[in-house]
């Protein structure tokens, strides 16, 4: 038998979707669906161990080698500039990173634009590339509130359905990048467990292709 693969799964809907894909690939660990508070799930026979972690923490487990593989959104990978291999676009968890502001917003060129965001690096780089001088405020959630109550002029945040923006009378002003979930690997693990990692990646790639073909 090959070596055990340790996989950091993001808790929540994205993690559930990825686990379902892995289950279909033969890496099942049914206990994971029991809704327990356990954080580690192992299937020795299939050579896989899953960790349940917060989505933003996945890259840390993988980068430092506590996990061999992980699933992280492109937003997190760009924000934390993680030193990991990106192996596959899973084409799920699709959304986009946007600049959004109140309906009818007009930028005042005389004033520094005040931007609230959870994604300081992405926002900072985006405006810097355009030579726009901004005042950046880092928040941890409910970003949409900031421009409504006058904490900021605009926000940089993730837009999926657009419901949150609509319900708060905000709209997309600029799209920065499309986002989707990626399979990532620790660089050293990839050297030592190449065969096991490539087998899992290829099985997932097949699933992704199948799903894409069904959509057409």
Query: Using CB under 6 A as the criterion, which residues of the chain lie in contact with ligand PRP when the complex forms?
Result: 141-144, 157-164
DSSP string, 156-173: EEEESSSHHHHHTTEEEE
Give least dist CB 139 to ligand PRP, A: 9
Give least dist CB 116 to ligand PRP, A: 11
Nearest residue relative to ligand PRP (C-beta): 141
d(CA 198, CA 187): 13
d(CA 58, CA 13): 15
**196: which residues sit within 8 A by CB, 6+ positions away?**
2, 3, 5, 47
Nearer residue to ligand PRP within complex by CB, 130 or 142: 142
Nearest to 76 by CA among 68, 66, 86: 86
Give least dist CB 171 to ligand PRP, A: 12
Give least dist CB 144 to ligand PRP, A: 6
Nearer residue to ligand PRP within complex by CB, 14 or 184: 14
Nearer residue to ligand PRP within complex by CB, 159 or 184: 159
């Amino acid at each position: 038998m090959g070596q055990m693969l340790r996989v950091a799964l993001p808790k929540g809907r994205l993690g559930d979707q990825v686990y379902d894909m892995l289950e279909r690939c033969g890496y099942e660990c049914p206990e994971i669906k029991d809704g327990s508070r356990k954080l580690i799930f192992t299937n020795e026979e299939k050579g896989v161990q899953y960790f349940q972690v917060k989505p933003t923490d996945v890259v840390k487990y993988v980068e430092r080698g506590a996990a061999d593989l992980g699933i992280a959104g492109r937003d997190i990978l760009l924000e934390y500039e993680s030193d990991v291999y990106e192996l596959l676009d899973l084409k799920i968890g699709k959304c986009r990173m946007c600049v959004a502001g109140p309906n009818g917003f007009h930028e005042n060129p005389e004033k520094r634009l005040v931007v609230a965001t959870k994604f300081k690096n992405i926002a900072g780089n985006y405006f810097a590339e355009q030579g726009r001088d901004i005042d950046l405020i880092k928040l941890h959630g409910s970003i949409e509130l900031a421009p409504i109550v006058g904490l900021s002029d605009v926000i940089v945040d993730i837009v999926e359905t657009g419901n949150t923006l609509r319900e708060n009378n905000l709209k997309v002003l600029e799209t920065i990048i499309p986002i989707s979930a990626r399979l990532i690997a620790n660089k050293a693990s990839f050297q030592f467990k190449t065969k096991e990692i490539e087998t899992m990646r290829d099985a997932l790639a097949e699933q992704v292709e199948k799903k894409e073909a069904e959509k057409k």
